[in-house]
Every structure is written in structure tokens, then in C-alpha cells.
Structure 1
């Protein structure tokens, strides 16, 4: 049975999309906050119903969400962040913390548009939906230690959290925010390879998915460099080195590196 944290505060989401839903579900499920301490609003009945089904309070407007919350998570699309913050500016008092998960929107712009000085910027990714997010945060100049602790507890509920300077956020977006798509392609390609080698499609996909999951766990939990783990699997003149040789001929490493760099550059352009 989950027990709510003794530090109970009110959490509101401006923007009730999939990422907001993942965060709210994780927070409620982990016991960091009771669902009754979380609120949002949305004009579509089906989105309101999704949040209501696990106990989140639905309010009539985003301004009411801000008024009723201690921490306000800005979870709208980046293209409308400026418009939304200008509309909410009268309600963002000094007693409230603004947390932005809008990709590419810098702290200085968030401060200018909202008039708010207590701001934390967070870049999570889509595996938040299964409690395996990689999230990174940077602190605004007026955010307090208590603010940092609260936000850390929220995002630890959906995965793992790191802190970094804002100058790294474009590269973080290119790696961890866009990275799941690269891994999905790799899983699909591994499964296709299995099918080409004669495996049934469902077995090939299951093996590919579990292999990637297990390899990631080995890197994270063993503390060993990926190269060392790779060498441990690679016997002289064996099957693995034959496969690695093909990957190297195809520019596998360089292609992945280029993907991260290209996504980083695109993030810089958008921001």
C-alpha cells in the first residue's frame, strides 16, 4: 500500500497530454502525492476522463489550475508556450513554482513570458509512460533547495533524474528525448534480422526487445564500460565478432552519433 509523502503539496498541469498523464500517474502510483492533490484541465472530454480515472481533479480552466497549485507544470506544445504563459502571467505569483517540460524553451524566455522567477526546466522522455524516464533538470536563479527536492521527487517517480547546466539541454534533447526513437528502430531492425534468419515474427520481436532491455540493464547496473561488456560477449572468430564487423562496415556507430548531433542542431534551430 502506497503512503503519501509527508511533504504534501498541490501539483497542477497546464496541458493534459500524454507526457503530463505519465507524470501524474507515476506521482500518484508512487505515493509521492495523493491523486487528490493533482489537478489539470482540458477542453476534450476524453482527456478529462483519462485523468479522472486515477483520481486527478479536473478544473474548468488553466488559470484555475495555476491558482489551485503550489507547483505548476507547463506541459503544452512548445509552439504555444509563449501564448499560454502570457495568459497565465497574472496568476503566477511568487508563492508558486513553475516547472517547464516544453522542449527547447529556455529559462530566460520562460521568465520573460511568465513574469515568474521561481522556475525549473526539466527534459523528460517518453519512457516515462512505463516508469523508465531519463529526465534532466536545470534550476532557475530563484528556485530554492526545497523546490529542487520536490521536483526531484516528482520525476524520480517516473524514472531517473539528473541535474545539468542549461547549456547542455539541446544535446540532452538530441540524445535522451529523441533517443527512444533510435532504439525503437534498432529493435525493429534486430527483429527483422531474426525473421530474415528464419525466426517467427513474434519470437524475433520479443527476443530483440528483451535483448535491448537486458543489455541496457547490464550497462546501468554493472558499472562497466559498454566496450568492456561488448568484449566479454565477443569470442575470437565467433558469431558476435562476425556481426560486429558488419555493423562497423555499415557505419553503425557513426550513424547513431550523427543522429544525436542532427537532433541537437534541430533543437537549437527550434529554440
Structure 2
């Protein structure tokens, strides 16, 4: 399976690195195209087997999957000259560019996927959203398998993408904002910045692991650490007095 990635920016480069560290693609079958050499050279320095080029047409020629990892306003400029055709599969990372719009630049009957990773794809821990058009179940599963090696991938309907993006892509910034605030509290209470960050980050990792690996719910886990008259309930009530839950809901809805 030959995979072409057009664009070696943060997302394109992270996907290339994830592919060659996974089991779904041979390193020598991954080719990355980018107009400038600096990022391509950095990729090859880490993974010499990756093929690189400045020519999008060369990258797309003979590729089974073409991953377009460019800014939304660059999509037509990239796709029109190469005009992907069946049996190739097109995968677009361009936020806001619908599958109907993508179909204008390619064989409209070919399988088209839109994917929305988040920045944790750089450490193979992304929440990646996937939606497809003209795709078989096998092709959809193949895309899920590829991106599950870089975190967790989930199929959603295209009309759900905006809301899901708020939860997973914008959401990572909201989570980090909590981490930043917690670090500041830790410092005020006498803990070093580095130790505060490690404590909070590992606490988040633990909380996420509980939810992902056990058949449970946040309310159940909160109850386990909320002793009547204890310190946790005092802190939780302070969060609610400050409008914590409402602020999170409003932030997510505002980021659609």
C-alpha cells in the first residue's frame, strides 16, 4: 500500500512519522511532498526510508491513498493538477472543506475521507475524527486502523464534525488551560512548576485511562473520591460556584 502525503507541516509530518512507526504501511511506501526542503530533510533525518519530493504529481502518481495535509485555501490548488481517480482513496485534513467541495476537484465517485486529528498526533495520542463518502466498510476500517495507530480514531457523520472538533481539537486547548491553572495553584502552594506539571499531567492521564479502559462514567468516579465533609467536595463546590461546568459548555459551543 503506497501512501502519499501532500504537505509536511505539523499534521502532515506527524502523520508521516506515525505511519512509519506503525504496522499498516512499509516505510519505503510512504512518500511526502512539500514545496520547501527543510521539513522534508528533517523527516528523512529521522526516517531515511521515507521518500520525499517537491512535486505533488510525483507523490500522487501510483499512490493508493493520497492524504492532503494543507491549509483549506490550498486544497483546490493542490488537487486540481493531480486530479485523483478511482481506485485511489482521497483523505483530506482541511478543516471546513466539505466532501461535496472536495468532489469538485477529483473523480466524484472515488472514496473520499475527511479526518480531523488533534495536536496529540505528534506523540501518537490523537483523538482523530473520520467521516467518509463513497467508501466501503473495508476502506473505512482501513482508515480507522491506520489512525488508531496514532491514538484513537472514531467514525462520525460529516454533519457532526464541527461539534466533535470542538470536543477533541479545540478541547485539547481547554484541557491544557486547566493544567496551566492547576500548575499556578501548585506553585502558590509551594510546589515547583515542574513537579506541579508532572502531577497534574499524570492525574489527567490516569483519569483518561479510567474512562477509556473501564465501563464507567465520570460521575461514578467523582463519587469515589468525594467523601462527605471532605476536601474534594469543597473544591468541587468552589468550581461550581465559579461557574466551571457552564464555562466549559459555553466554550465548547462557542468553538463550533
Report the TM-score range of the alignment, normalised by the length of the smaller protein.
over 0.9
Note the C-alpha offset of 1:79.
Answer: 2.2
Alignment of 1:216 onto 2:208: yes
User: Which residue number in structure 1 is paired with residue 244 of structure 2?
Assistant: 252
Q: 1:205 aligns with which of 188, 191, 197?
A: 197
User: Which residue number in structure 1 is paired with residue 112 of structure 2?
Assistant: 119
Q: How many residues align?
A: 253
State the SS of the aligned residue for 1:199.
Answer: coil
User: Which residue number in structure 2 is paired with residue 132 of structure 1?
Assistant: 125
Aligned counterparts of 1:43 and 1:136: Cα–Cα separation in 2: 27
Aligned counterparts of 1:250 and 1:56: Cα–Cα separation in 2: 51
Contact 1:12/1:68 (<8 A) preserved: no
Alignment of 1:182 onto 2:210: no
State the SS of the aligned residue for 1:137.
Answer: strand
Note the C-alpha offset of 1:11.
Answer: 0.2
Note the C-alpha offset of 1:156.
Answer: 1.1
Contact 1:41/1:60 (<8 A) preserved: yes
User: Which residue number in structure 1 is paired with residue 82 of structure 2?
Assistant: 88
Alignment of 1:35 onto 2:23: no
Q: Deviations over 1:128-159 (max 9, x none)?
A: 1111111121111x222332232122101101
Contact 2:114/2:130 (<8 A) preserved: yes
Larger displacement relative to structure 2 (72-81 or 22-31): 22-31
TM-score (norm. length: structure 1):
0.89
User: Which residue number in structure 2 is paired with residue 3 of structure 1?
Assistant: none
Alignment of 1:73 onto 2:59: no
State the SS of the aligned residue for 1:261.
Answer: helix
Aligned counterparts of 2:201 and 2:76: Cα–Cα separation in 1: 39
Q: Deviations over 1:142-182 (max 9, x none)?
A: 22233223212210110111111111001011110111111
State the SS of the aligned residue for 2:103.
Answer: helix
Note the C-alpha offset of 1:43.
Answer: 2.5
State the SS of the aligned residue for 2:167.
Answer: helix
Aligned counterparts of 2:148 and 2:197: Cα–Cα separation in 1: 29
Alignment of 1:192 onto 2:184: yes
Structure-to-structure mapping, 1:146-161, within 5 angstroms: 146-161=138-153
Q: Structure 1 residue runs of 4+, over 4 Å off?
A: none
Q: Deviations over 1:65-121 (max 9, x none)?
A: 1113110001101122122222332xx122211011111111101111334432111
Aligned counterparts of 1:28 and 1:114: Cα–Cα separation in 2: 27
State the SS of the aligned residue for 2:200.
Answer: helix
* Alignment RMSD: 1.4
State the SS of the aligned residue for 1:122.
Answer: strand
Note the C-alpha offset of 1:245.
Answer: 1.1
Contact 2:5/2:59 (<8 A) preserved: yes
**What residue ranges of structure 2 are gaps of 5+ in the alignment?**
none
Aligned counterparts of 1:14 and 1:153: Cα–Cα separation in 2: 20
